[in-house]
Amino acid sequence: MAPSAINNSSPSNVTFPTTSPQEDDSYDVIVVGGGWAGIGAAIGAKQAAPHSRVLIIESEACLGGASTHRGVLALCGLYTCDGTQRKVVGGVWDELRPKLEERGAVSRKPISHRGTFLVVEPEGLKIALDELVAEYNISVLLHTPVVGATRENNLITSVEIQERRGRRHIAAKAFIDCSGDCDLAFVAGASTRYGNHGAVNLGSLSTRFAGFAPDAEPTAPLWREAIEKAKAANPALKKIIPKDASVLLRLPLSGDAVTYLASASYDARSSADITRAEQQGRIQAQEYLKILRTLPGHQDMYLVSSGPNFGTRESRHLSARHTLTSADMLSSRRYADCIALGGWGQEWHSSLSPTFASEFSPCSEGSFDIPLACLWSVDTGNLLAAGRCLDGDKGAGSAVRVLGTALATGQAAGVAGGLFAREGREVGGKEVRGVLRREGAVLDAGSLVA
């Protein structure tokens, strides 16, 4: 792919936007949420319309979403889930990956567990994303929750933000919800739903451990055996720490171990519920630490960090023009308006299981199509959603939520939003696919390579 004409800066000459977003009240495209989907969306909008004014509104202190706010450090969805390790995400990822590699902030080789993924270091990711959005001259507002919106007929006209100096409105022509919880869609009066027919994927709290002896070999099976043994000796632990097993990641720079054992069932819309989950998660983290310290080479093990926020796997979904279904995903159904490929299987973490067990079901051909219609609101003409906000049922939603897929669907939503803002009309899959192809996105399952 030829370098984008608007993305030719190197780290040594990056210039951050000189116009303060605090002083601007109108943009072409507003992206709510600065995670993987939001980064993709903002850049996609710029790729579709290089002279457009794009703003990311992020409620936390940095970009990076689940990776920097929730400790989700496995970059799932970048490769097929059939073991062939064929690449299914390009585009923005091809620009971001070198920035991570030069900092040693991403694993060099894909890791196989259920599907295939890479591991990222959060601090390197933060600065890499700051650089990338600056190169595209994208404005960013951090520490800024969206608390309201205005609309006329079936279009959003502005969002209301909460700053410490008060509230104000910022207008735009197109809006993209990458908040993870459909916060924008909800406050704007667009149709959403919570979970799927009463089922909601379980959340987990990331825990990062260090202090292993040089000859220690922390592995997921070893840790599971220790946890099951401790529960057998003290059955009361079954209620305190329900989960027995989790993937175990080793970070590329520090060698720290990250796992997702601490888990809870909660309503992600309720502050009271989330508070209880956070508190329970911290108690669970300490209980797991006590158990794991009994293992060889783990005696001086300590908890580096948790979270900082609980990792919500599912919240609200946008009601879009098409709902991607489990059958679509498992059968690798192909769509004419495909704007991204999914490369992760259905991964369901059940709150009904006594041990919060999870199940994984890959698709039949290693990847599946995600159509544009899953991103576009059914009742709000200038609103799109990406990442786990897009419209997928229980199974499909559990597959499209992962970070690599979120980056790809974000880029597609951004292209569609950028074209909408520039043309003043809805655009079809052909136009969106044309821009995505030009920018190196992977859209055709038949052309995948390792």
Residue 18 structure tokens: 């000189």
* Amino acid making up residue 173: K
In angstroms, the CA 291 to CA 284 distance is 11
Residue 383 structure tokens: 């609103």
Residue 350 makes CB contacts below 8 A (sequence gap 6+) with 202, 356, 357, 358, 359
Report, in angstroms and rounded to the nearest whole number, the Rg of the chain calculated over CA atoms. 21
**So what's the pLDDT on residue 1?**
38
> 106 with 119: CB under 8 angstroms?
yes
Residue with tokens 């329900």: 242
In angstroms, the CA 82 to CA 210 distance is 32
Q: How many CB atoms lie within 10 A of CB 5?
A: 8
Residue with tokens 């720079």: 253
Report residues of the chain scoring pLDDT below 70: 1-24
CA dihedral 265, 267, 272, 278 (to 10 degrees): 40
Residue 226 makes CB contacts below 8 A (sequence gap 6+) with 291, 292, 294, 295
Which phi and psi angles does 47 have, rounded to 5°? Answer: -70, -35
**So what's the pLDDT on residue 449?**
82
* Amino acid making up residue 167: R
Residue with tokens 């899953």: 374
277 exposure class (CB count in 10 Å sphere: 0-12, 13-18, 19+): buried
* Amino acid making up residue 401: R
Residues 290-327 as b or e (16 or more Cβ within 10 Å = b): ebbeebeebeebeeeebbebbbbbbbbbbbbebbbbbe
Q: What domains appear along the chain, each with residue ranges and CATH number?
A: 22-108+119-197+314-447 (3.50.50.60), 203-306 (no CATH)
**So what's the pLDDT on residue 11?**
46
- The size of the chain, in residues, is 450
CA dihedral 442, 444, 449, 450 (to 10 degrees): 60
In angstroms, the CA 124 to CA 361 distance is 32
In angstroms, the CA 81 to CA 18 distance is 43
**So what's the pLDDT on residue 85?**
92
Q: pLDDT, tens digit, for every residue of 348-378?
A: 999 999 999 999 999 999 999 999 999 999 9
In terms of pTM, does the model score above 0.85?
Answer: yes
In angstroms, the CA 358 to CA 345 distance is 12
> 42 with 54: CB under 8 angstroms?
yes
Q: Which helix (H) or strand (E) holds 63?
A: none
**So what's the pLDDT on residue 14?**
58
**So what's the pLDDT on residue 13?**
53
**So what's the pLDDT on residue 8?**
35
For 57, how many CA atoms within 13 A lie in the half-sphere containing its CB? 30
Q: Alpha carbon of 28 to those of 52, 164, 181, 218, 414: distances in Å?
A: 6, 25, 23, 49, 11
